A and B are shown apart, each in its own frame.
Chain A
């Protein structure tokens, strides 16, 4: 069965500093990987996804994630964070042939001015 581990429940970062949010997955078959973001009192929004091809994927607001098959990881990074990045970030996995999305427990990113 597919599963996702997000080891860091909270990550405080100073504004304009870089950040990495870690995600590891487990699956016996090939997978699709996603990062979703949840702002306070809102639903989740798709941030970026890995389906196939280049292992480095980017979002429109400066985040990037790299799929590493050997380490079964899909860590999210941003070189310089802003106050507006304050949110909870969820990593999710979906196996080939299965539409279900399984989410990690989330990482709360707090930006310190």
Chain B
């Protein structure tokens, strides 16, 4: 089965450090999402892209977060500087069309201490 690959699976970092999370969407999928999951807030949409163009990043704190798709095989989510409140599981998802459903990666569990 085709999979969405996220790296790293786990990341522990100190407050103030830069964090980069990577996502390899399924080949041929032209829509890519970044979600954040916490116990308190549940699943929050941070940003999404269609054909590599950012369509909506209104859910992302712009002062410290940035999301890019340098090419069709890579999406990145950066946090600089990181803060303890950024601790969460970050999911990437990709799809051709929501009617077929989106495929989620296994997530990056980020802990900022």
Complex CA distance for A42 and B104, rounded to whole angstroms: 9
A35 to chain B, nearest CB (A): 10
Within 8 A of B (CB), among A15-55: 32, 34, 36, 41-46, 49, 51
A5 to chain B, nearest CB (A): 11
Determine if B107 and A43 form an interchain contact, defined as CB atoms under 8 angstroms apart. Answer: yes
Determine if A101 and B102 form an interchain contact, defined as CB atoms under 8 angstroms apart. Answer: yes
Residue total for A at the interface (Cβ-Cβ under 8 A): 21
Within 8 A of A (CB), among B77-113: 91, 93, 98-99, 101-107
B43 at the interface (CB under 8 A from A): yes
Complex CA distance for A99 and B55, rounded to whole angstroms: 10
A51 nearest CB neighbor, chain B only = B99
In the bound complex, residues from chain B placing their C-beta under 8 Å from that of A51 are 99
Complex CA distance for A43 and B43, rounded to whole angstroms: 11
Q: Per-residue 0/1 for B54-90: is the Cβ within 8 Å of any A Cβ (1 yes, 0 no)?
A: 0110000000000000000000000000000000000
A-B contact count (CB 8 A): 46
Residue total for B at the interface (Cβ-Cβ under 8 A): 22
Task: Summarize B's interface: helix, strand, loop or mixed.
Answer: strand
A52 nearest CB neighbor, chain B only = B99
Determine if B104 and A45 form an interchain contact, defined as CB atoms under 8 angstroms apart. Answer: yes
Determine if B42 and A102 form an interchain contact, defined as CB atoms under 8 angstroms apart. Answer: no
A73 at the interface (CB under 8 A from B): no
Binding site for B on A (CB under 8 A): 32, 34, 36, 41-46, 49, 51, 90, 94, 99-106
Binding site for A on B (CB under 8 A): 4, 31, 33, 35, 42-43, 45, 48, 50, 55-56, 91, 93, 98-99, 101-107
16 chain-A/chain-B pairs, Cβ below 8 angstroms: A32-B99, A41-B106, A42-B106, A43-B4, A43-B93, A43-B104, A43-B107, A49-B99, A49-B101, A51-B99, A99-B31, A99-B98, A100-B56, A101-B45, A103-B42, A106-B43
